[in-house]
Amino acid sequence: MQARRAARELAFILFSQIDKDIDKYSKSDFANIVLKSVRTLKSNATDELQIALSGLMEFKAQVDDYEANHETNLNRPIGVSNVAVPVILTSDLSEKLGQTIDVAEKALMALEIAEFTTLDSQSDVQAFAIEIAELYKKHNKELDEIIQKYSKNWDFQRLVTMDKNILRIALIELLYIKATPLKVVIDEALELAKKYSTDESTNFINGILAKVVVDYGIE
Q: Give the domain extent around 204.
A: 3-215
Q: Percent of the chain having pLDDT more than 90?
A: 38
Which domain CATH number covers 88?
A: 1.10.940.10
For the chain, what is the domain count?
1
Query: What pLDDT, in 10s, does the model give residues 148-170?
Result: 999 887 777 778 899 999 999 99
Query: What pLDDT, in 10s, does the model give residues 107-135?
Result: 776 666 666 665 444 578 888 999 999 99
The C-alpha atoms of residue 124 and residue 54 are separated, in whole angstroms, by: 36
The C-alpha atoms of residue 172 and residue 169 are separated, in whole angstroms, by: 5
Nearest to 22 by CA among 96, 182, 150, 133: 133
pTM, full prediction: 0.72
The CA-atom distances, in angstroms, between 63 and each of 52, 59, 85 are: 16, 6, 10
Q: What local confidence, expressed as pLDDT, does residue 185 receive?
A: 96
| pLDDT surpasses 60 at 18 | yes
| pLDDT surpasses 50 at 142 | yes
